[in-house]
Amino acid sequence: MKIGIILGTRPEIIKMAGIITLCENEGLDYFVLHTGQHYSYNMDRAIYQDLKLPDPRYNLKIGSSTHAQNTAAILEKAESVLQKEMPDIVLVEGDTNTVLAGALAASKLKIKVGHVEAGLRSDDPNMPEEMNRILTDHISHLLFCPTALARERLIKEKVDPGRIYLTGNTIVDAVNRNIGFALKKSRILQRLKLGKKKYFLITAHRQENVDNKKTLSSILASLETLYNRYNWPVIYPVHPRTDKMIRKFKIRIPSAIKVIDPVNYFDFLNLEASAGAILTDSGGIQEEACILKVPCITLRENTERPETLKEGSNILAGTDPERILRSVEVMLGRKANWDNPFGDGKTGENILKIIQDQFISS
């Protein structure tokens, strides 16, 4: 049995790392195809190095362009690799253009697709990721859902229940595996002169937020308000998309905000775990905040991770400064005694076992 793993962005590397390591340790016949959607050192190599992953067998180096160009380039180039390798199954993770194009390339060659993190829905058709998730789910042969809620969504959409598996989310595997080392080895708190639980950590990169001058300015203004109210440092590792848009819109970053480049995974885990609160529009960071028991304020009107709202680890704050401030107050007043709804950290093992059972018995 041969497994093809397709990935291309920072969160996919982090969430696929456990599965890759297991394939490697168990001597399975597998290969990794990196699309090159993310390529900057701190979005790709730095993460690869922390997670001690072997180099991918293929890198398509597609780089950045429009959605259609990116998706089409991956589709075309991935097809050649898949034709050559002809794996029994292709695994993709999440909701990026890499995921949709990789799944589609496999599906057209009649290669089975396994979707890790299946069944997430924001119900927001304006998000490019929502389209990617829906389409990928509906061309997948095996759907690995992180939670019962995700499973229910798929059943509602008439996906064959026999294809759906409740496995948890591999982000728990990633956090459990790396948090101890990160807390011991990372020196980022000393480097940035941060006191534990006495700073805010921010990330924002969603297209709907940062490609709009008014919305991006509003988020930045809210961070200044936050600093004035709490007098805690505001640490903002800026995603390259956001960096590009700040320059394009010529937005002045308030001096209260400490802007840094994206950091490696160990430093980021340490920054998250030690933060007083996290403000974000990232999907993976909503999950990690919940797992690490750090209050999360989501700078969006919806989330495809409603489990975090139900558990109480997260609140939707949108992008209006007043509402963000109120949401921070609410979250800082909550006890961080919520449960982690994303599984026990054995998701990678569960997924590989399901795949092996399928192919050994078929």
Given the rule CB under 6 A, which residues bind ligand UD1? 9-11, 37-40, 43, 64, 95-97, 128-129, 205, 240-241, 244
Q: Which of 10, 34, 151, 305 binds ligand UDP (CB under 6 A)?
A: 10
Indicate which residue of 34, 38, 115, 205 is catalytic.
Answer: 205
CB of 275: closest distance to ligand UDP in angstroms?
12
Among ligand UD1, ligand UDP, none, residue 340 binds (CB under 5-8 Å by kind) = none
Gap between the Cα atoms of 79 and 58, Å rounded: 12
What token pair was written down for 177?
Answer: 């595996």
Gap between the Cα atoms of 268 and 13, Å rounded: 15
Q: Tell me, what DSSP letter sits at residue 250?
A: T
Burial of 243 from C-beta contacts in 10 A (0-12 / 13-18 / 19+): middle
Q: List the one residue out of 233, 259, 235, 234 whose CA is nearest residue 246.
A: 259
Q: Is 146 one of the binding residues for ligand UDP (CB under 6 A)? A: no
Among ligand UD1, ligand UDP, none, residue 136 binds (CB under 5-8 Å by kind) = none
Active site residue 138: no
CB of 113: closest distance to ligand UD1 in angstroms?
17
CB of 211: closest distance to ligand UD1 in angstroms?
9
The 193-232 site mask, x for binding ligand UDP (CB under 6 A), equals ----------x-x---------------------------
Q: Which stretch binds ligand UDP (CB under 6 A): 181-189, 212-220, 250-258, 276-284?
A: 276-284
CB neighbour list of residue 244: distance below 8 Å, 6 or more residues apart:
none
Burial 72-102 (b: 16+ CB within 10 A, else e): ebbbebbbebbeebebebbbbbbbbbbbbbb
* Identity of the residue, 302 or 358, whose beta carbon is nearer to ligand UD1 in the bound complex: 302
Q: List the one residue out of 248, 270, 305, 251 whose CA is nearest residue 191.
A: 270
**Binding to ligand UDP, residues 279-338 (CB under 6 A):** 282-285, 288
Q: Tell me, what DSSP letter sits at residue 84?
A: H
What token pair was written down for 246?
Answer: 């700040």
Give the residue numbers annotated as catalytic, written as ranges: 205
Interacting residues toward ligand UDP by CB under 6 A: 10-11, 14, 47, 203, 205, 237, 262-263, 265, 268, 282-285, 288
